Each structure stands twice: as C-alpha cells, then as structure tokens.
Amino acid sequence: MGVLDEAFVGSWAVAAGLVTRWELRHNFVRVFPDVYMRKGGSLDAGGMARAAAHWAKGDGVLIGCSAAAMHNTRWLDADQPAEIARGGHCRPPCGIRAIRSVIEPSECCEVDGFKVTTPARTAFDLGRRLPRERATPILDALCAATGLEPGEVATLASKHPGARFLNRLRTTLAVVDPGAESPPETHTRLLLIDNGLPRPTTQLVIRDHYGEFIARVDLGWRKWQVAVEYDGAQHWTNPTQRTKDIDRIARIEAQGWRVIRLNATLLHHRPHVILDRIRTALTTQGARLDG
C-alpha cells in the first residue's frame, strides 16, 4: 500500500513532494483539517484512528475504540468518532472525540508508529465507559486479537482504585470470552448466562469415539453434549453452505449430541424460544437446572 493510499497529512505530503497542492485539492478529500484521503476511498475504524492521530500530529494517544482498532480488534463501527487523549485543551473537528487526559507511559505503546493505549488500558477504558452489552463484544474481540486476559485488566484496575465505573468494568470482565467469533455469538452467550443457564464453552471441538475431529461449534456443554450454533444469513441463503450444514449437523447428532440452532430473528425477537429449547435439551441430556 502506498503512502497516499490511506489517510495522510496534506502539508507533509506537499512538503515531501509526494503531491502538489493542485492534486491535493482535486484528487483527494479532506477527512480532518490537513488530513486527506483519495477520492472514492473509505476508512475503516483503524483508518479513522490513524487519521485522528495525523490530525493531532503526534500530540495525543489513541484511546477507546480507536486504540482497539489499532490492536486489530474486529467488528468496530467505522461511523463512530475516532477517540484520542491529549494533555491540553483542544477543540476537535467533527468526527473526533478528544478528551483532556494524560495516560501513564506504562499504559501506552506504539502500533505502526502511532501512540495508543495498551490492550489492558484499552479494555479498562471501554469496560468502564460502555454498558456491558456493548463492551463485551469489543472486549471479546480485543482479547482474541491481542491475547489479553481479563485478569490483566483487573490487575490494572487495582492500580486505579479511584477510577469511575469500576463496578461496571468488573461486571463486564466476568463474562468476557475471547472464543466468541462474532458479536451475535457474544450476545447469545450473554443471553444464556443472564437467564441462569450454565456458562457454555466457546468454540467447542467435537470428536468421535476414536478421537477424530467432527466439528467445532460456537457454544456448548461437553458434559451434557448440547451444542448451540448461531447461523448467519449465508447459512440459509447459500445452497452449498446449507448442504454442508445439514451434513455437519447429522455427524454431530450421530455422536449423541443435541444441536440448538438460532439466527438473528430468534436472538433479538424470540429469545424465549431459544431458552426453552436449550433448557429442554440440557435436561433431556441429564442436566439438573435450577428453576
């Protein structure tokens, strides 16, 4: 990727002879003051974070979702403002959320030459600021991308006993699981936990009696041989994928497992159906559930 294929500082590019002022005006669009990108291009959450850092010209630390994006966290919304902390007062342009704060050096690191909060500090900030339902999918993905453990975030939190919303952070950390591979999988897990079901294992591998691999399921309980699968749209609209799913489920059930499948409609509009089916499957398989 070339220097001008992502957001860049216009004045620096002109000074370096990479682009003329005429080209800057006609071939590029302004993202933030003195920050440009090619016409027709788009920026994901990481690109927006870099653009915000270019606007600050090194005077600041990327925080929150922008820091998460720099750590290759998936599923972030590029339409949300970029986030940066600066030591002094400033008036950020539209599209940047700037806070006045000094981040401790031990809680900062560099990613691709940009100063960002460490994964632990990033999780510490997001887990306190966002409601659990919003924070958990991001922290799941952040932990998956960086190898961060929830315990590391708890250790950092112990160094900031006066910080706001620590109880919210602890509540979120208690349910974080880097095994989730999508926000719907996270929301499914939270639904089960919040309704008193045993906490499931994520990305559970199922093998036959000889130890041969059969499948890997989104969520499940090996003890009772119950699996939960979230099916995205491609599982229903793609004939090839649909056929694979039919064969796969048959192989799983042949090993004595019960498989509960759900989609976005069930998760968001008929969660009681999911819960009833899973409770029935668990009790049928020998689980003793309260209530």
> pLDDT tens-digit profile of 82-111?
999 998 878 899 999 999 999 999 999 999
Confidence of residue 243 (pLDDT cuts 50, 70, 90): confident
Q: Where are the domains of the chain?
A: 43-173, 183-284
Q: Does domain 183-284 have CATH number 3.40.960.10?
A: yes
Tens digits of residue pLDDT in 151-167: 999 999 999 999 999 99
CA distance 143 to 74: 11
Cα–Cα distance, 83 to 223 (Å, whole number): 44
Q: What is the pLDDT of residues 16-63, one digit of tens each?
A: 999 999 999 999 999 999 999 999 999 999 999 999 999 999 899 999
How confident is the model over 189-199, as a mean pLDDT?
Answer: 97
Task: Supply the mean pLDDT for the chain.
Answer: 94
Give the rounded distance of the alpha carbon of 139 from its chain centre: 6
Q: What is the pLDDT of residue 205?
A: 97
Percent of the chain with pLDDT over 70: 97
**DSSP single-letter state for residue 87:** S
Q: What digits encode the pLDDT tens for the residues 217-227? A: 999 999 999 99
